[in-house]
Amino acid sequence: MNVLSDLYKKAATYELQGHISLAIETIEEILQRETDTMMQVKLGELYYVSGDIQKSIDEFEKVVKAHPDYTFALYRLGISYFRATKFTKAIQLFKHINEVAPELYMAYYWEGLCYYHTGEIDKAIESYTHLQKKSPSGTLGFYQLSVAYKAAGEYLKAIDCLKRILEENPKLSSVHYHLGRSYLGLSDHENAIREFKIVIELDPKHNDARRRLTELQEDNLYTFEVPPL
């Protein structure tokens, strides 16, 4: 059997079986024998999965250096930069991707996360708005927008986004939770209580929703029972 063919099969089998370290070792052996861009990308992905983010970055940077227009490798490199908290580098990459490969609209999602983590909430909102426009039927854009609006203190806009999501799926506990938090931001305690109760109905072990209901109960402004665990 051809040695390289055998190595390719082994790498694929190891990955499918969840033996990531063995898959990495096998792909490294392949790359010692021949240049294979797809295998180098796969190596970067496996390093990412294994938690070795710096090696993931190293591999993707090699690919991008050799193939500057390989947008998928740029995209994966940007995500690795994000995981390594190299937000400025990640933002630069995602902005470039948004210009040259608009079909990779999830780049707006990661760009928004970078801005969110650097405290640039207005820019995060802008990125998430682009994401929502690129994928109007999806809920991710609305969800991320709601989180950013909430962080900016724009609670009514956050509520509007969250309600749009609930129109499609009324049983998302995380959405009801952020809705409750947004109502709290407006000091609308009655609606906040209603939403936190829904959260507990959907997810009885949601400790923060329970804590917030208990705090509202202890304010002595409202009479209600926190649902039992």
For residue 229, the model assigns a pLDDT of 59
Confidence tier at 218 by pLDDT (50, 70, 90): confident
Distances (CA, A) of 224 to 99, 193, 217, 220, 227: 53, 9, 7, 10, 9
Confidence tier at 221 by pLDDT (50, 70, 90): low
DSSP string, 62-85: HHHHH-TT-HHHHHHHHHHHHHTT
Q: Which residue has the tokens 């407006």?
A: 186
As a whole number, mean pLDDT of residues 189-197 equals 94
For residue 2, the model assigns a pLDDT of 82
As a whole number, mean pLDDT of residues 10-32 equals 95
b/e string for 104-116 if b means 16 or more Cβ within 10 A? bbbbbbbbbbbbb
CB 23 within 8 A of CB 11: yes
pLDDT in tens, 123-169: 999 999 999 999 988 899 999 999 999 999 999 999 999 999 999 99
Q: Which of 56-65, 182-191, 212-221 has the lowest mean pLDDT?
A: 212-221
As a whole number, mean pLDDT of residues 211-219 equals 85
Class in CATH terms, 171-229: mainly alpha
- Mean pLDDT value across the chain: 93
What pTM value is reported for the model? 0.88
Distances (CA, A) of 171 to 36, 38, 43, 168, 201: 46, 40, 39, 9, 10
For residue 17, the model assigns a pLDDT of 95
pLDDT in tens, 28-83: 999 999 999 999 999 999 999 999 999 999 999 999 999 999 999 999 999 999 99
